[in-house]
Structure 1
Amino acid sequence: MTRTLLRIDASARTDGSVSRELADRVVNRLAPTQVIRRDLADSLPQIDAAWIGANFTAAEARTEDQRAALALSDTLIAEIEAADTLLIALPIYNFGVPTALKTWVDHVARAGVTFRYSEDGPEGLLRGKRAIVVVASGGTEVGGPIDFATPWLRHVLGFIGITDVQVVTADRLAIDPDASRAKAEEQIEKLAA
């Protein structure tokens, strides 16, 4: 049962977005107790040299400026930690993820916080969570040879410990929009609350 859901909207479009529309349907289907919203259309700042310097400074040794540089990243990670389920509304842009979603990943993939390196390789630290990725694309078939978005996002989520990932697909909307939407709606109806 989903108690707290973190909804991440990655579409640059706030009106007429299929990924947002389908994410609304997922929220209605799951009926979580609480929804935390993170709309990436509002844009996140790119990580920069100050952010990297702060990130690679031990927490207890960080200056006030370094803590300020990581404040947004800390907030984004706290949103994930608070959620049982992540819902990512993902449009495919030019075969990949929107830059806003890549920037979100840059903020939340932090060594020692959301993953760590061990003798056996990287280990995700955000275990026990579920992710539902609602994908909308005009012509890129999810799982096809030119889909670089969903395999990348699955890898990133697994890297930080989220391995229970379900994908709802409304792909090839420019080719057969009715069939594409119907397929996605059927997948949403099968999602377990």
Structure 2
Amino acid sequence: MSRVLVIESSARQQGSVSRELTQQFIANWQAAHPADQIQVRDLALEPVPHLDATLLGGWMTPSEQQSEAEKAALARSNQLTDELLGADVLVLAAPMYNFAIPSTLKAWLDHVLRAGVTFKYTETGPQGLLTGKRAFVLTARGGIYAGSGLDHQEPYLRQALAFIGIHDVQFIHAEGLNMGAEFSEKGLAQAKAKLAEVA
């Protein structure tokens, strides 16, 4: 039995293509792996605060010297990190906002990319500690960006995940969604076809 952690980051609850892709992923995965546990964390319904001095204090201040706010920030970071540590498969649903990922997803990453927990510094440089995990990234894009210099999603997420030891990463892009019906239908159909193969 594997544990699957799904991170939703679309600001929209209705009419969201990335959420549509996530629902198909979950349905396909459950059909192929009925014993697996799937946890969904929705960053729109439960926003994660952006990295600030309070969270840094929670990480770096000795426990006996922490303020109540720092303790709460550390507890939240620990919960998010524990969810990631316990997952065998990570699914990131990432609509493209202004050529990159939603700020809510960046905030989540800032909580879980933690020295000594998900990576460590060594004499030869940083080393990821989350080896053996798989990740799927489901994107929704108004234009067609894959492989272009305007795609700041895939390179960034590949680097961030590799930094913590997750190298087995598959991207599934639904592109051209705002380029008219023909492009939109084709982009969504291609993404759903790839999702059917993944499970």
Gaps of 5+ in 1: none
Residues 1:70 and 2:74 are matched in the alignment:
yes
Within the candidate set 100, 108, 111, 2:112 is matched to: 108
Aligned equivalents of 1:26 and 1:164: distance in 2? 17
1:161 to 160, 165, 170: 165
CA distance in 1, matches of 2:157, 2:131: 16
| TM-fit CA distance, 1:151 | 0.9
Measured after TM superposition, the shift of residue 140 of structure 1 is 4.1
Output the TM-score relative to the length of structure 1: 0.92
Task: Give the corresponding residue for 2:19.
Answer: 20
Q: Show CA shifts across 1:81-128 (max 9, x none).
A: 111101111100010010000100111111111111101111111111
CA distance in 1, matches of 2:5, 2:190: 24
Residues 35-54 of structure 1 mapped to structure 2, 5 A cutoff: 35-42=38-45, 43-54=47-58
- Cα RMSD of the aligned pairs, angstroms, is 1.6
CA distance in 2, matches of 1:71, 1:29: 33
Instruction: Give the TM-score taking structure 2 as reference length.
Output: 0.90
Q: Which residue of 2 aligns with 1:9?
A: 8
Distance of 2:167 and 2:161 partners within structure 1: 7
Measured in 2, the distance between the counterparts of 1:62 and 1:88 equals 35
Q: Which sits farther off after the overlay, 108-117 or 42-51?
A: 42-51
Using the TM superposition, give the Cα deviation of residue 171 of structure 1 relative to its aligned residue in structure 2, in angstroms. Answer: 1.2
Task: Give the 3 Å change call, closer, same or farther, for CA 5–62 of structure 1 in structure 2.
Answer: farther
Alpha-carbon deviation of 1:62? 5.6
How many residues align? The count is 190
Which structure 1 residue ranges, 4+ long, deviate > 6 Å from structure 2?
none
Q: State the distance in 1 between where 2:98 and 2:177 align.
A: 14
Q: Does 1:89 align with 2:88?
A: no
Query: CA separation in 2, counterparts of 1:122 and 1:163?
Result: 14
**Alpha-carbon distance between aligned partners in 1 of 2:65 and 2:72, rounded to the nearest angstrom:** 10
Deviations 1:27-84 (CA, angstroms, capped at 9, x unpaired): 11111521111101121112221211221235x6663633322111101011111111
- SS where residue 6 of structure 1 aligns? strand
